[in-house]
A and B are shown apart, each in its own frame.
Chain A
Amino acid sequence: MTDLVTQDKWDKLAANFDVMAGNGAEKRWLPKKRELFSHMQGKVLFLALGTGLDIVAFPPGQDITAIDISPKMVEQAESRVAAYDGTIDARVMDVHELDFPDGHFDQVFTSCTFCSVPDPIAGLRSLQRVLKPGGELYMFEHTGSRVFPFNMMMKLMSQLTERVGPSMSRQTVANVHEAGYELLEVENLFLDVVKIIKARVPAHH
């Protein structure tokens, strides 16, 4: 069953999400996101769609399935989905309960998603199920820091931010490893906080 608490939290933010997110982070990381999303090929799953802010960084001509737990977010994304020069099949879905067959996708892309997934390891395992053996996981994420005093500060911040939105202290690289992926590459973009993670499902999975 869909996590209604999380769904409600993001539904409430949907109408003002673009204002809250501002355009600073989008503008700052657009070149890096374009570079990351340029790897899209084959059957691609993107999460979480949100209001579709990342669509501008997608390469044209792709056939993408995009999911989000919040129906209101997907509703807000409609105009950006329609404007994309390719196909985006936008669906409301909880990452913990993906309604796709095993081994359905070649690639999964995430963008600032696993700071908000309530059970990140279960969510990553769920993605692994729908990826083909050898399928690739590409993540643009902000994570907790391992460096003092940032680690302490971000744990404190998380006490507040988790009530309204994302966590600031997730150890996403370790979570990817624990979920059973083969880590390929981690690129730190800002400190050890904003990063790109590349991993794949083991070929014998």
Chain B
Amino acid sequence: MDNRLYFVLGDLFSIIVIGGFIGLLSVAIVGTDWNMWVAMIVMMVVGMALALPAAFLFGYWFGAMEIMVPAMQAGMWSGMVVGMWHPMSALSLSQGALLGAVVGLVVLNIIWALNVALRGTRHFAGGAL
């Protein structure tokens, strides 16, 4: 995670908006009569696919892979969670957007935690991998 405020807020803003948008879209697309597993898979694919162009948009200001990777995960998980939830218990558009945004926020925090675990320097003695 980048500690500079501009990028912390940029990451949060981008991923919450993308998660919220995919959540809203999931409620708009999925019918309450859909099978929840079908809804989950359809919205997982749609969420991930739509998150890519959205990531390009936000990436203009905030970064490339650092936005793209969490955006696609947020899109995928928001689509899955809201898509599955809506057939079980009908959501309004605003509830879908809110749930999607929360999922996006959770995903971003998991990625930040993973980043702390993965970043750092490895030294190689003798050039071996």
Contacts and interface: CB of A to CB of B under 8 A. Distances in A.
Interface residues of A, number: 37
B127 A187 contact: no
Given A157-B52, A174-B129, A183-B124, A24 B118 contact: no
Given A22-B61, A25-B63, A28-B63, A185 B2 contact: no
Interface in A96-127: none
Interface residues of B, number: 34
B121 A187 contact: yes
Given A181-B127, A184-B127, A191 B118 contact: yes
B62 A24 contact: yes
A5 interface: no
Contacts, number: 97
Contact of A183 (B68, B111, B127): B127
Given A23-B60, A183-B124, A188-B119, A147 B114 contact: yes
Contact of A25 (B64, B76, B122, B128): B64
Contacts of B2: 28
Interface string A148-167: 01100110110010000000
B88 interface: no
Interface in B33-85: 48, 52, 58-69, 72-73, 76
Interface of B: 2, 7, 10, 48, 52, 58-69, 72-73, 76, 111, 114-115, 118-124, 126-129
Interface of A: 19, 21-25, 28, 142, 145, 147, 149-150, 153-154, 156-157, 160, 168, 173-174, 177, 181-194, 199, 202
5 smallest beta-carbon distances between A and B, as pairs: A182-B127, A22-B60, A25-B64, A183-B124, A187-B121
Given A187-B120, A188-B119, 10 more contacts: A22-B64, A24-B64, A153-B72, A182-B124, A183-B128, A183-B129, A184-B127, A185-B121, A186-B122, A190-B69
